[in-house]
Structure formats: C-alpha cells, structure tokens
Amino acid sequence: MFSRNKNLSSSVSTDMMKKQKRYEALVKALHADIFRYAMWLIKDKAIAEDVVQETFLRAWKSLDSLKDEGAAKSWLITILRRENARRFERKQFDLVDIDDVSVADPINFGDVVLEHRELRRIIGDLSEEYREPLMMQILMGFSGDEIAEQLNLNKNTVMTRLFRARNQIKEALLGDQTKGEQVNG
C-alpha cells in the first residue's frame, strides 16, 4: 500500500514537472509576442505587463486544455483579450476610453530610430478596430481566417479593416491629416 501511494505521488509530481516544463517553454517562446501585442493593445507599459502576467497565470491554470502547441499563440491572444476586457469590467466606474486619452509619447522607448518613432506614433493613433487586426497580421502572423475568428468578425470585414488600416498609415506617412474618411470600400 505504501509503495502504491509512493508511485501515485511520484507520478503526480512527474506530471507537475511536465506541466512546468511545458509552461516554461510556452513562456519562453511566446512572451515577447504576447507582451508586444499587449503593449499595442493597451499602450501603457505597466498595465500591459500586468495583463500579460494575468494572461500567463490563466494559461498555467488551464494549460491542460491546450491540446495543440501550434495553436498556443492564438490561445494566448484569446486569454489576453479576455483579461484586457476584464480590466474594463473591474473599472466600470472610472472607465476611460484609452483611445481618447492623449498620452504624451506612449510608446517611446528612447532607443528607436526616428523613422520607427514616427511609425509607432501612427500605429498607436489608429483606432483599435484597425490596429488590432493589423497587429494580429503583422506581429502575430495570423491569417485572415484566424483574425476573423479571434475578433468574431467575418473575413470580409477583417480584410476591409486591414485595407483601411494600411491606407490610413500610408496617408499619415504622406502627411495627409484627413485620415481614411473618404477612402471607403
């Protein structure tokens, strides 16, 4: 009986070790992408860090539900977006639309060539409905179908938003201040 218990507990701890290993691999492989995504979504470094931490904690708790390692990225993004939404639920009373808040230089890391700074400002100025699919496509490498699934939109809408996002960026780069309004498709 003792030996049986011992086997049982040692197999439990082996499972824990496996889970731990799997989790660490997941963190190492994807923390940078997830953090960058959070940064572009939230535009505040401290909050983004918090949300990413919450995201990975959730991921740890439900790691067993992730069957396919290849789907890990979109799985984490789903958790991240939910965690970010919860942030607004919690703060319902002092809710501020992050897009309305003018932050002096939100994504300034001081280490960037001027060109990137300008691009970062432009990306940051995009409204969320354009910025998010663009991040998913460029940063995360998601396909149109994957973006549609994440955002719960149909693919045509996603493609339209991606088109408009690039269009707005292009216009901003050209110094055109009338962003996108007249370029409807």
49 binds another protein (CB under 8 A): yes
Q: Which is nearer to another protein, 32 or 71 (CB)?
A: 32
Nearest distance in Å: CB 152, another protein: 18
- The residue within the footprint of another protein, chosen from 11, 53, 62, 154 (CB under 8 A), is 53
Smallest distance from another protein to CB 116, Å: 5
**Is residue 160 close enough to count as binding another protein by CB under 8 A?**
yes
Torsion of CA 156, 73, 75, 55, to 10 degrees: -120
> Are the beta carbons of 129 and 148 closer than 8 angstroms?
no
| Site track 56-95 with another protein (rule: CB under 8 A), x = hit | xx--x-----------------------------------
C-beta of 96: minimal distance to another protein in Å?
Answer: 23
Q: Which of 10/53 has CB closer to another protein?
A: 53
Please provide the DSSP assignment of 151-184 as one string. HT--HHHHHHHHHHHHHHHHHHHTT--S-STT--
> Token pair of 36, please?
């960058």
Tokens 């490498």 — which residue?
141
User: Rounded CA gap, 114 and 6, in Å?
Assistant: 62
| Residue 167 binds to another protein (criterion: CB under 8 A) | yes
The answer to whether residue 22 forms part of the interface with another protein (CB under 8 A) is no
Contact stretch for another protein (CB under 8 A) within 69-77, 84-92, 165-173, 174-182? 165-173
77-82 long-range Cβ contacts below 8 angstroms, 24+ apart: 77/34, 77/37, 77/136, 77/140, 77/150, 78/150, 79/55, 80/34, 80/37, 80/38, 80/41, 80/51, 80/52, 80/55, 81/41, 81/150
Positions in the binding site for another protein (CB under 8 A)? 23-24, 27-28, 31-32, 35-36, 39-40, 45, 49, 52-53, 56-57, 60, 107, 109, 111, 115-116, 119-120, 123, 134-135, 137-139, 144, 159-160, 162-163, 166-167, 169-170, 173, 185
